[in-house]
Amino acid sequence: MNTNFHGLLVIDKPAGITSRTAVDRAQGWFPKGTRLGHTGTLDPLATGVLVLCVGVATRLAEYVQLMPKVYRAGIILGATSDTDDADGALTPSADAKSPSRALLEEHLASFLGKIAQIPPAYSAAKVSGRRAYALARKGKEVDLQPRTVMIERIDIINYTYPHLELVVRCGKGTYIRSLARDLGIRLGCGGYIASLRRTEVGWFTEGQSVELHATPAAARTALLPAWRAVQDGPPNIITEEEATQLLQGKRIRASWPDPRDLAVMAVLDAEGRTFAIVELIDGWMQPIKVLAGANAK
């Protein structure tokens, strides 16, 4: 297996393809055998930030998946969609009335914080071990249970009925399609996603992204260090002796004066490679994941 490329790559997923297809295309930038995976599905209609894990960084995908996301969402009010977006069958809402901006702001405020949200019927959520979209496409009834998600902020960017544009900052597992659907229900006029762009995942932004038509050389140059999956600031370097102890599963003393108030952090070996992910407990570093042996800058 190739071990020359390890790290994180931010790509700009275009509309009209799945996240899996985007990963398959990105695979062509790297030698055969290089492991690649993404850290959070975007619908085919959606564009924007998709963080790929390359090589040993695939072991750190869970940390990126937990990061907050920011979306710019275009919503059409006055109609519904069976997929909750413009790719589905649209049904105009009878006698739909234009909500005032004040009413809109009132209802949007009710979605802030921890809320119970039902995923769209056409989604990757599982029902009895099967993907909901697979059942929905066969015309079968999809009974999805509410999930607790976190929505930190919703800002209205533009509103001229029936067009509404929002910026939403939310946590893992939040469906913006569900937000559009539920907002339309509360307003009594229906609503669905017409456009959706993810602009941020944690500290990864669209300004760092590479487009899928980039050359392999450009994509490889844009590869970020694997430790960026865990922290934004520079990690600490450990000695060869400390590396051996972590490799043996032993904890080591956190001797530097600036722990950066992190509960979990990355440490590098003397050659600058991402060596391990550790948990800081009372001045000690307890290894969580040891990535020794990978040339993962």
pTM here is 0.91
**What Å distances lie between residue 261 and 119, 231, 296, CA to CA?**
35, 11, 24
C-alpha–C-alpha distance, residues 60 and 147, integer Å: 24
Half-sphere CA count of 37, side-chain side, radius 13 A:
13
Q: Assess contact for 45 and 14: CB atoms under 8 A.
A: no
Highest mean pLDDT among 1-15, 128-142, 205-219 belongs to 205-219
Among 69-78, 237-246, 253-262, the range scoring the smallest mean pLDDT is: 253-262
19-43, pLDDT tens digit by residue? Answer: 999 999 999 999 999 999 999 889 9
Instruction: Report CA 5 to chain centroid distance, whole Å.
Output: 22
Q: Whole-angstrom Cα distance, residue 21 to residue 294?
A: 27
Label residue 138 by pLDDT band (50, 70, 90).
low
Per-residue pLDDT at 1 exceeds 50: no
Q: What pLDDT was estimated at residue 257?
A: 54
Amino acid, res. 24 = D
Catalytic residues: 43
What the chain holds in terms of domains, given with CATH numbers, is 7-67+203-228 (3.30.2350.10), 69-201 (3.30.2350.10), 230-290 (2.30.130.10)
Among residues 177, 48, 279, the alpha carbon closest in space to that of 38 is found at: 48
- Provide the pLDDT confidence category of residue 135 given band limits of 50, 70 and 90: low
Listed in sequence order, the residues at least 6 apart from 8 whose beta carbon sits closer than 8 Å to its beta carbon are: 51, 52, 53, 54, 57, 64, 204, 223, 224, 225, 226, 228, 229
Flag the least confident range among 34-48, 122-136, 209-223, 252-266.
122-136
Q: Is 248 helix (H, G, I), strand (E, B) or coil?
A: coil
Instruction: Quote the CA–CA distance of 15 and 72 in Å, as a whole number.
Output: 14
The tens digit of pLDDT for each residue in 234-244 reads: 888 999 999 99
Q: b/e string for 157-172 if b means 16 or more Cβ within 10 A?
A: eebebbebbbebbbee
Q: What is the pLDDT of residues 170-202, one digit of tens each?
A: 999 999 999 999 999 999 999 999 999 999 999
Q: What are phi and psi of 220, to 5 degrees?
A: -65, -35
